[in-house]
Amino acid sequence: MKQEKWLSLLGLANRARKLVTGEDLVIKEIQKQRVYLVLIAKDASNNTLKTIMNKCNYYNIPVKQVSNRYTLGNSIGKEARVVIGIKDKGFSEKIKQLLD
């Protein structure tokens, strides 16, 4: 149950236009400190994982590893997504809670 809940919340955040996806865009938003939580797929490449983890640690933004790129992409009605940044404090707090 918990699993689906954070995914539907992610879909909701997407419809509310509170997400940013794609490595480059997410990194830009991290640097501008406009994301409150970053979700990265467990099947992301080591390089991507390292880059995102380092950026998030540096800017002190929480990051969670989740399922895989297809589950992540699917939840927002896209093909595959490796990394998603959440630009809304409310959504990010709730999703973080569900993932803990």
**pLDDT tens digits, 6-23:** 999 999 999 999 999 999
Domain boundaries, the chain: 2-99
Q: Report the 10 Å Cβ neighbour count for 68.
A: 15
Q: Residue 35 pLDDT more than 60?
A: yes
Quote the tokens at residue 71: 């589950």
Q: Residue 2 pLDDT more than 70?
A: no
CATH 3.30.1330.30 holds for 2-99: yes
Q: How far is CA 60 from CA 11, 23, 36, 55, 56, in A?
A: 25, 17, 9, 8, 6
Q: What is the pTM of this model?
A: 0.94
